[in-house]
Structure 1
Amino acid sequence: MKVLLVDDSVIIQQSFGALLASAPDVEVVGCAEDVATALAAIAANPPDLIVLDVRLRGHDRGLDVLRRVRLQYPGIKVVVFSQFNWSSMRKTHLEAGALAYFDKATEFQQARDWIAELSLAHAAQPKP
């Protein structure tokens, strides 16, 4: 499963990217820090899954990426991975089409494990 990390923290890109890369059948194909870079990366090499932060570089919002992906690339799965563990934020992103919402502070390993399970299910699907 090809994964794109969209997070403005280089530390998260490196640490969570390395953790994800240790999962079976997961390949981190890129990182983006803002909406424009994320959308360009998606268009150039559409991933199977996007791991998305709520707040991106500058005033960019992950929700903008999520909404664009749902409209333009409905087959791409999106998981939110954020430091904002507010129920309203979680609800907004899930209603916008995210499959899951994980808190960076407390759910680092759970997010990796969930994505690993998703990858295994993805690998088991018949390819066209």
Structure 2
Amino acid sequence: MVIRVVVADDQAVVRTAFAGLLGTQPDIEVVGEAEDGAAAVRIAAEHRPDVALLDIRMPGLNGIEAAREIIAASGGATRALMLTTFGLDEYVYDALTAGASGFLLKDATFPELLHAVRVVADGRALLSPDITGRLIAEFTRQRVAAPPARSVEGLTTREVEVLVLIARGLSNGDIADRLTITAHTVKTHINRLFAKMELRDRAQAVILAYELGLVVAGSGAGGSGADGIRAAGPDAGR
């Protein structure tokens, strides 16, 4: 299966470089390039890509708003992978709530770029410890002054435990070891949790856990990277 990708960045050098690198892979096809968010939305509507690689900050319609429109128009079929720099980290939370599935630094290596696109295209969340560990905790903590729109009512005690461990960066295998249950049972709990809370992926689960106050900054346990959040591994899907 060929992964269809749209690349959007207002910096022509960055855009062309990423598109060129992705185009060298037999399993990836760059179906369009865009210089801003509005163009990205138009191109995505025309080509229906699997992944939209979007710079967070672009003139006019920014990458976050573009991601929101692209995801909504595709019914979630197109996944958004955000390009960011350490200087723009304050946008991470907004991008996640807009539906972004992951983040990639603009100075990422070629293998990191390919891995990110393939992970997101596969329906998994890419939560890089270099970006999201500290930031999701910090910016979500700032947002929870208002009462959360959802609660854990309706979740079993075990499902709440699994949600907390997801937010702390544990893979399915790690969760199974921590709770002394099988990996299959973990996956069952995750599927039920996602269905009850209407979560699309682990990125949304992380946001929910912080919004509900189930995990706070500095409480990571067992994960790598700041605050225990780490990239989703091969077994990290639902």
TM-score interval, normalised by the smaller of the two chains: 0.7 to 0.9
The reply on whether 1:63 has 2:69 as its aligned counterpart is: no
The TM-score normalised by the length of structure 2 is: 0.45
State how 1:66-85 maps to structure 2 within 5 Å.
66-73=67-74, 74-84=76-86
Measured on the aligned residues, the alpha-carbon RMSD in Å equals 2.1
Higher strand share: 1
In structure 2, C-alpha distance between the alignment counterparts of 1:37 and 1:25, rounded to whole Å: 24
Cα distance change on mapping 1:86 and 1:35 into 2, 3 Å: closer
| Equivalent residue pairs, number | 119
Distance 2:102 2:56 in 1: 13
Q: Which residue of 2 aligns with 1:125?
A: none
Please point out which of 98, 101, 126 is paired with 2:100. 98
Q: Give the 4+ runs in structure 1 shifted more than 6 A.
A: none
**In 2, distance between residues paired with 1:108 and 1:91?**
24
Mapped to 2, the partners of 1:16 and 1:108 lie a distance apart of: 10
> Given that residues 47 and 76 in structure 1 are in contact (C-alpha distance below 8 angstroms), is that contact kept between their aligned partners in structure 2?
yes
Question: Which whole-Å CA distance do the structure 2 matches of 1:115 and 1:7 have between them?
Answer: 16
Q: Which has the higher contact order (CA 8 A, sep 6+)?
A: 1
SS at match of 1:75: coil
User: 2: distance between equivalents of 1:40 and 1:117?
Assistant: 24
Contact persistence 1:81–1:104 (CA under 8 A): yes
Taking the TM superposition and a 5 Å limit, the aligned residue runs for 1:1-128 are 1-56=3-58, 58-73=59-74, 74-84=76-86, 86-105=88-107, 107-109=108-110, 110-117=112-119, 121=122
Greater Rg over alpha carbons, structure:
2
Return the alpha-carbon distance in structure 2 between the equivalents of residues 41 and 50 of structure 1.
10
For structure 1, list consecutive stretches of 5 or more residues without a partner in the other structure: 123-128
